[in-house]
Amino acid sequence: MATLYTHQGENIRKTWLLMGTFLVLVVAVGYGISWYMQTPMFLYVAITFALLMNVGSYWFSDKIVLRMTGAREATRTEFPDLWNVVENLSITAGLPMPKVFVVNDPAPNAFATGRDPEHAVVAATTGLLSILDRSELEGVMAHELSHVGNRDMLVMTVAVVLAGFIAMLSDFLMRTLMWGGGGNRDRSPIFLVVGIAGIILAPIAAQLIQLAISRKREYLADASAALLTRYPEGLASALEKISSYSQPMRHTSHATAHLFISDPYGGGKKSVGQKIGGLFQTHPPANERIKILRGMDV
């Protein structure tokens, strides 16, 4: 039987493989545009714009997320159990105490944000706090602190940068082809067909890889949480309760959905992504996560 450490190593390797594939897509699309336009100027402008835009989002990501989710800072007096759990787990993990926030929402869920452990935030909904016992809450908060410790926010930011970069380059090339731009107009029509196919497929592939990276980070955070608490059953039991709640959160956004421990749109109705094999899901199936947790040898 695979151990906790086996799952951690496996998910890290898969994540780096996905990131490497992302980079190959960026190079391929960028090379195609440069070749077609016979000038690197537009590519340099696109890269500069994408990096500036996303670096800015990265530095202010925690404030943006907190505003979008309607979270408010929690106090030890008002939420002593949540505060104490986060504090104790932070000490155990050797992490700085993150800021603790609460979202007034009956849907049970939680998330972490922030660019690094020194600027981290963990948040839980009031619905989560009302249905979980102490060991289950510890499992969920250990999961979120694992995201902080594993620097998953940084990985997801890089993924967003690359996905947006590919989409922008593809859109630029599409406009160029539509208006007949570029210096290779005498090329075979086959190039146009291949180019248009690449323009359409590249952003889709980028989005699929971005979502896959999110799913893999969830598996890794589950494994790290089990290692931190030495009690995988706590998180497994919490995921059972969370996944049984079918209603979506009051304030949901596709931009922040991947940050939550469970799909904030609810698990009652199957989305298009679930019906075609889950390719477009930001979270792995809860039953798979629970099965892995209960099969761990801690």
Distance CA 158, CA 161 (A): 5
In terms of residues, how long is the chain?
A: 298
Distance CA 33, CA 174 (A): 10
- Per cent of the chain over pLDDT 70 is 58
Average pLDDT over residues 96-120: 93
Distance CA 293, CA 7 (A): 10
The catalytic residue among 144, 218, 233, 288 is: 144
pLDDT at 275: 47
| Annotation marks residue 138 as catalytic | no
Question: Does residue 11 have a pLDDT over 80?
Answer: no
Is the pLDDT higher at 38 or at 265? 265
Confirm if 127 and 9 have CB atoms less than 8 A apart. Answer: no
Question: Does residue 273 have a pLDDT over 50?
Answer: no
- Strand pairing report for 99-103 and 72-73: antiparallel
- Summarised one tens digit per residue, pLDDT across range 33-48 is 677 667 777 667 666 7
- Summarised one tens digit per residue, pLDDT across range 72-81 is 999 999 999 9
- E strands, the chain, in order: 72-73, 99-103, 110-113, 121-125
- Summarised one tens digit per residue, pLDDT across range 195-209 is 666 666 666 666 666
pLDDT at 51: 64
pLDDT at 272: 43
pLDDT at 151: 77
